[in-house]
Amino acid sequence: MGKGWKNKPKKNFAEKRREKQKKKDEWDKVPQRSYPDIIRENKDFENYYKTQGIVPEDKWDAFIGTMRTNLPVAFRITGSKIEAKALLEIIKSDFFKGILNTNLNGDNENSNDEVKTILHSLPFYPEELAWQLQLTRKDIRRSEVYFRLHNFLIAETNSGNISRQEVVSMVPPLVLDVKPSHKVLDMCAAPGSKTAQLIEMIHADEGNILPEGFVIANDLDNNRCYKLVHQAKRLNSPNILITNHDSSIMPNFTITKPDGTKDILKFDRILADVPCSGDGTMRKNPDIWCKWSPANGSNLHGIQYRIAKRGLELLTVGGRMVYSTCSLNPIENEAVLHRILLETGDSVQLVDCRDLVPGLICDPGIAHWKPASKNLQYYNVWEEVPEQWQTQIRPKMFPPSANEAPKFHLERCMRILPHHQDTGGFFVAVLEKIKSLPWESETLSQNVADNKNKNELSLEEEAARDAKLPESGKRPLEEGIKPQRKRKKIVGYREDPFVFFKDESEDAWQSIKDFYGISNNLDPRRLLVRSHEGKKKNIYFTSPAIRDLVICNENKVKLINTGVKTFVRCDNKNMKFRLAQEGVQSIADYISDERKLYVSKEDLIMLLQNNDPLTPPEIVKLSLDTQERLKNFATGSCILLYKEERTDNLNPLNLKMVGWKGIISLRAYVPTCDAIHYLRLLGADCSKFEKNKFEESRAAVSTEDVNDGEIETEDSISEETVTENGDCTEKIDDIKIETNK
């Protein structure tokens, strides 16, 4: 290549933007196929899976018939156990069933018609906290009879009390069997529904406000990491760290032991929900019917194996790793596990964990399969593979012989097929690490300080080490020593720094501590901000373990997000920071009773139903007890507390939310979605917040001609919305976050 390319003039921003717009315009001219137009047939798909024998012959029609239908909607109830139980009672109530028990065509004229039951709890999910609707997303979003159900799902999802998730996606975290003390790694976490389950399990013991365990949620794709942040932030946990790294080469995390020495972190539980061809999701993503090829799975086998292998290296002895995919292909499933088990010998074994999901229907893993070329030529052994296919089909993709197969126990894997319980397709396997892997160094596991690998040093450590070496100690390249390979540049957005408070003397801390009467039990070093200079805008709260992980590893791996927003700058005359609703659960126990205002049920309902602060005309409607407490209550941010006094309720409500006491006013300082959630739990009227988009659309038609007589229907609205400043924000399942404060 000549040197002229170096002098090529750089394009300015306007030119780049014009080129980008031109490409977009060209793409818009290409006719796009909508999902209803996709023919859900693929002869190669049927040929391949009939040959693999993943479905008994007498069940094939049920399997392929279900694969061609749309996927029903499912959701989980999340949050604290007390609030979850209260929300569960609402879902099981006659009121909620009245919203659901409607014929799909909306015809209710004939009362003798059998009403279709469209809601049922999932038998394998503990405490009836997961439910499936015999409705598709299209039914819920486009049928007016379900507008109240749609509103319910949107509001409760935004408040973090419901997680809309596929049924089969709920299984891997359940069989991982996470305890509050466990150190958990989610290797390929985005978009985050399984991560949310893992966080809930870490916080399962409500008596322990701040559990010892934590979750590191990682993903390779920088953009998908922000979807992960969106999911995780709704749970308001100080025990999660989100990272952006290639999980197949995930670095060893350094931690500080109680005696102050450094060690390598080994995880108790690891979830490896690896990238896959995704043909188990055809009911949700019908475009896969058009794109499916046996080569898709073969091309992913290598990266799936490397992720699983690295996961086992990061796992502690006695720990468990779940390997899962949303693929039906044995090349991506059993073949990967067979390869792993061959290499690890007797140090790793498959574990049957069906007892952790009683009621789940699934088939065992298979011990025989046939790798196939792109043109569907099947091969029994590697020697049969022609040279032209030897880059696609590899020797280690073949199954064990009939004599060796029993020792691998591949039947302990779980194959969940769509016709089993009207779900998507999924594969789940649980691996237990019995002892160190054959290639692992015991000394490296014991002491990272004395046995630190050169490749794990940060760039700053490498420079400092090389600077200390005398010239005579630096071996020349002529001796055959290759120069160190340059590190791969971290791509994606540049993240703001994580700056932890140093001690009690930190700027602004003393004023916060004095105003809220924060006890000495709260170590200010667990608070952080996201800038080195300037005014602190938001202050976040983390667990001690997460703080240590950030400080010890910020130069090894790209950190995306951690901490719960707890204090927000407000620059009030008497206080610099107000409380944030996200962090109130984590911080409440450290705050003095002088900043806590106990209110009655009726008072709390009144506060939540009003967007504006209650002023003297309305304050007199509060109970006399509340009015008396307000007389001597200092102005500023506070915590509103309500505790249910009913003795017949096994799970009495105990609600905490942020409020604001003005000179002559009082308000609940919570987002609209949280206000709706609390009102539901209190059995109050939420009709003020109910919106019927179908009525609004009809009203718009009757008042004016929109767009020269044409109304933009929901079908024509893109899944992406553009904000006023031109930024593109992705909607998650038609959910749009809004706040009234």
* Of 166, 132, 374, 200, residue with least CA distance to 273: 166
Phi, psi values for residue 627, rounded to 5°: -60, -40
Helix (H) or strand (E) holding 262: strand 262-264
Looking at residue 400, the DSSP 8-state letter turns out to be P
* Spatial CB neighbours of 477, under 8 Å, sequence gap ≥ 6: 483
Catalytic-residue membership of 353: no
Token readout for 259 is 């005696």
Distance CA 627, CA 633 (A): 10
Q: Decide: 243 and 560 in contact? Cβ < 8 Å.
A: yes
- Pairing type for strands 267-273 and 183-186 reads parallel
C-alpha angle with apex 629: 628 to 635, nearest 5 degrees?
120
Which helix (H) or strand (E) segment is 338 a member of?
A: helix 334-344
Q: How far from 420 is each of 52, 55, 285, 708, CA to CA, in Å?
A: 18, 11, 19, 50
Q: How far apart are CA 73 and CA 132, in angstroms?
A: 6
What separation in angstroms does the CA of 673 have from each of 137, 506, 670, 678?
21, 35, 8, 9
Determine contact, residues 580/567, Cβ cutoff 8 Å. Answer: yes
**CA-to-CA distance for 258 and 275, rounded, in angstroms?**
37
From CA 146, how far away is CA 102, in angstroms rounded? 9
66 CB neighbour count, 10 Å cutoff: 19
| Buried/exposed 367-393: b ≥16 CB within 10 Å, e otherwise | bbbbbbbbeeeebeeeeebeeebeebb
**Crossing angle of helices 672-681/601-609, nearest 10°?**
150
Which of the residues 188, 225, 326, 686 is marked catalytic?
A: 326
Dist CA 661 CA 544 (whole Å): 32
Cis bond before residue 544 (omega within 30° of 0): no
d(CA 357, CA 324): 15
- List, by residue number, the catalytic residues: 326
